[in-house]
Structure 1
């Protein structure tokens, strides 16, 4: 999808009404650092630094609908507990979400608590009751679906197997979709898809499709075979399977399977990416987009969501920016101004990532540089390289330097997997960049003395670390140039 078509689609879909119904969760993320092992058992000790709480599952679908410019109605069941009050407060903070949370005193609110260090989940603890809702609660959900669906362009049912998507609730969604001529899309984790009747689209992921069909789903051919079987066992109009880095695959009745690809991006956290895809798909269809356009939007939205920590939402601006960036040379996208560096660092910190910083001229890249940068990246989650401009290289190294100009040096550095951002600086030292980035770890080569490292006082002063990388003997730009001069 080109940028102009994307902008048109987002504009058309803005304000579309969509119902998000199903299993609702409270997602809690506890972030911290690990620096030791418990004396009580061979387990890591997480030193808690912060905690975030957000709506998950159907709640995350509603959040993403609102973030993308839609108007969401959220229907779900919660317990009579503190987590339910958290969920209500979170919905109250979203002006574009109308929430109908029905209290069932017989069950707890589903809560997933994830413990995270350095962008890696260490443990997840679930509190839940997966028994189907029944009696008065089920009837109230059915009644709410009928009322809330009036004027909606799509109904999105999240069936996480936590009890809300009973056969009667599914039938109520089917009836409401027929009555309103709305699209019904079901995100399914069920053993079989026949329970969804004539739903327009069923959306499992590859693992869930394998679970429902007892078939492998690793390759395109395996996906196609499993989709053929799945369509034959249910009455849905189409099945759209999400496949992480392999994109999405669509099987519609009477048509060949179509595969949709998008170049994979950096994955910070895949939690909730399926919810984001469901929201984007449903909102696009509610806004009048065709199925191919809706899938392309869903694929784009989920690729942006996985770059963020936690159960994330995405905005129209982020989608447009991602589409623009996808058309650039990926290496050049890593070359940034100091201003953009500050924005990127703020984003990484919100994700709980550890920031590293180093600097240099990097005139003629050699094995010593590669070893040094690789070691530096091993100490952090994101590595920023401050790069001397041509003027500052000449000031430090003298006439004849640099051999390679700033653009060439920056592009080569940005092409390294261990480097996340390259930031040129024209000053004689990187002190201003270090002050702006406030890295957790400042890295220099092992041939430096601590007292000679620019920025070490500032970094250690606010609690950061200075680390000296192992010096690799026999490799230096100056030595290489001397050999060239001597004709070696």
Structure 2
């Protein structure tokens, strides 16, 4: 997919949903309280950050898009802080301030980058409180292209159908970040963005990619929804659209610092990109990149347009074409990605190994392997398999970290983990065009050579860089 940076400054998005203030107390912990077996935190800093639907609005503003926000608050200090923070980044606030309810506050105590305690201050809204927002709807929806409904089940979206119908009358696209086990209340929405747990709460347990797609399509038909974007943590995202082939995006492998607000970033980026004229698949691809950025940050965070474009460019090389993004994948996702690549006429190269401590020899070898075709699959041994091959104390790096390092290399398209001692079952499943192995032996010494040549594939042996060995590196470290 050729990437053209969206002009977010032309995008106009409306957010309606549950507003809250995320309040963080930061400090050091040096002793245990004499009153109870709990740590004493000497608070050094207080930080207030808009949360819930307000965090969606902050993310939209951070990208440079125009955002109008509405929800229910109290008539209190927290509402004033929330509005001030939002106005400071250009969010247009049309709040319904109720004298009968306090603004929702979620307070967290943080020490040494660790959350020690969370305190929630909230009173559930009565079912009819949201009706006070109806008088705002005309000015709220004027001149916008996309409406986001950010539902945290606090009561602001007690009647989402009102907003869906109002928006469609204005010709707007409606996106919903849902809550609860009844998606019928979002009937007619254009895109719903549940995470995997929320999706399974509605459709039941999902055991395979095929079952996920089947149940998603049933949901689309039942509730007249145009598309579902299911966010799947380390398994990436899957977009199921009415009348279109499923679109899978593997997660972009990164160290995760905090997943707080990742769903808000996804729907904010999706909405902003759609409002800026991007297609749904282009917008989802950008949302996937944005999610990878925000989970690497601590706390409720946002993503800027320069960050998004820079990260997209880093992961999107000329060899990455339209339906498969580089990254760590499950075996099922790999099968789908390889099938799509072959349909586009791309030659798929496969190699495998432990790749415990990545060194110059590995990098050179993978570059050689990548040159044998259009796509490179790297399959790594499980931790148990590495221990069996290399002995106690190995691997140094567990599988998830090995995948992160490999996925960061420009020459690698997909990284997966294979079960068992050899990748023979995986070779039978994905049938790569070329099997590559590094070493000084004949190709018949390559595990799986007969499988690959049996269906007409090639087997190639690449040279290795002299004096490069993970075992030698480990031994040298142990000598010091």
TM-score range, shorter chain: 0.5 to 0.7
After TM superposition, the structure 1 = structure 2 runs for residues 284-295 of structure 1, keeping only pairs within 5 Å, are: 284-295=273-284
Distance (whole Å) between structure 2 residues aligned to residue 282 and residue 327 of structure 1: 21
Judge conservation of contact 2:257–2:296 (CA < 8 Å) in 1. yes
- Bigger drift between 242-251 and 27-36 goes to 27-36
* Closer, same or farther: CA 412–179 of 1 in aligned 2, 3 Å: farther
| Residue ranges of structure 1 left out of the alignment (5+ in a row) | 333-369, 374-407, 417-471, 477-488
- The Cα of 1:229 is off from its aligned counterpart by 4.3
Judge conservation of contact 1:9–1:289 (CA < 8 Å) in 2. no
* Pair 1:242-2:231 in alignment: yes
* Closer, same or farther: CA 54–75 of 1 in aligned 2, 3 Å: same
- Of 5, 12, 16, which residue of structure 2 is paired with 1:9? 5
After TM superposition, the structure 1 = structure 2 runs for residues 190-209 of structure 1, keeping only pairs within 5 Å, are: 190-209=180-199
Deviation sequence 1:459-487 (CA, Å, 0-9, x none): xxxxxxxxxxxxx99723xxxxxxxxxxx
* Pair 1:149-2:141 in alignment: yes
* Closer, same or farther: CA 412–59 of 1 in aligned 2, 3 Å: farther
- The Cα of 1:128 is off from its aligned counterpart by 1.6
* Pair 1:269-2:258 in alignment: yes
Give 2:447's aligned residue: none
* Pair 1:27-2:19 in alignment: no
Distance (whole Å) between structure 2 residues aligned to residue 241 and residue 25 of structure 1: 24
Distance (whole Å) between structure 2 residues aligned to residue 412 and residue 93 of structure 1: 54
- The Cα of 1:276 is off from its aligned counterpart by 0.9
- Of 199, 206, 216, which residue of structure 2 is paired with 1:227? 216
After TM superposition, the structure 1 = structure 2 runs for residues 34-73 of structure 1, keeping only pairs within 5 Å, are: 34-73=29-68
Distance (whole Å) between structure 2 residues aligned to residue 187 and residue 144 of structure 1: 21
Secondary structure at 1:241 match in 2? strand
After TM superposition, the structure 1 = structure 2 runs for residues 208-357 of structure 1, keeping only pairs within 5 Å, are: 208-213=198-203, 215-217=204-206, 220-221=209-210, 223-326=212-315
Deviation sequence 1:376-401 (CA, Å, 0-9, x none): xxxxxxxxxxxxxxxxxxxxxxxxxx
Distance (whole Å) between structure 1 residues aligned to residue 477 and residue 20 of structure 2: 55
- The Cα of 1:28 is off from its aligned counterpart by 1.2
Distance (whole Å) between structure 2 residues aligned to residue 42 and residue 179 of structure 1: 58
Moved over 4 A (4+): 327-332
Give 1:345's aligned residue: none
- The Cα of 1:192 is off from its aligned counterpart by 0.9
* Pair 1:75-2:70 in alignment: yes
Judge conservation of contact 2:20–2:105 (CA < 8 Å) in 1. yes
* Closer, same or farther: CA 327–238 of 1 in aligned 2, 3 Å: closer
Give 2:173's aligned residue: 183
* Closer, same or farther: CA 22–248 of 1 in aligned 2, 3 Å: same
Q: Which has the larger radius of gyration?
A: 1
- The Cα of 1:150 is off from its aligned counterpart by 1.5
* Pair 1:139-2:131 in alignment: yes
Distance (whole Å) between structure 2 residues aligned to residue 220 and residue 114 of structure 1: 37
- The Cα of 1:234 is off from its aligned counterpart by 1.9
Cα root mean square deviation, aligned: 3.2
Deviation sequence 1:300-352 (CA, Å, 0-9, x none): 111111121221111111112222443699989xxxxxxxxxxxxxxxxxxxx
Distance (whole Å) between structure 1 residues aligned to residue 127 and residue 69 of structure 2: 17
Distance (whole Å) between structure 1 residues aligned to residue 258 and residue 53 of structure 2: 18
* Closer, same or farther: CA 51–412 of 1 in aligned 2, 3 Å: farther
After TM superposition, the structure 1 = structure 2 runs for residues 283-432 of structure 1, keeping only pairs within 5 Å, are: 283-326=272-315
- The Cα of 1:74 is off from its aligned counterpart by 0.4
Distance (whole Å) between structure 1 residues aligned to residue 272 and residue 110 of structure 2: 31
Distance (whole Å) between structure 2 residues aligned to residue 157 and residue 118 of structure 1: 35
Distance (whole Å) between structure 1 residues aligned to residue 253 and residue 478 of structure 2: 38
* Closer, same or farther: CA 233–115 of 1 in aligned 2, 3 Å: farther
Q: How many pairs align?
A: 337
Deviation sequence 1:2-58 (CA, Å, 0-9, x none): 5xx2xx3322x3221110111011011222333433333333333323221111111
Distance (whole Å) between structure 1 residues aligned to residue 187 and residue 168 of structure 2: 12
Distance (whole Å) between structure 1 residues aligned to residue 275 and residue 105 of structure 2: 30
* Closer, same or farther: CA 475–199 of 1 in aligned 2, 3 Å: same
- The Cα of 1:197 is off from its aligned counterpart by 1.8
Secondary structure at 2:64 match in 1? coil
| Residue ranges of structure 2 left out of the alignment (5+ in a row) | 318-325, 328-357, 360-394, 398-464
Distance (whole Å) between structure 1 residues aligned to residue 219 and residue 26 of structure 2: 40
Secondary structure at 2:5 match in 1? helix
TM-score under structure 2 normalisation? Answer: 0.64
* Closer, same or farther: CA 326–172 of 1 in aligned 2, 3 Å: same
Secondary structure at 2:84 match in 1? helix
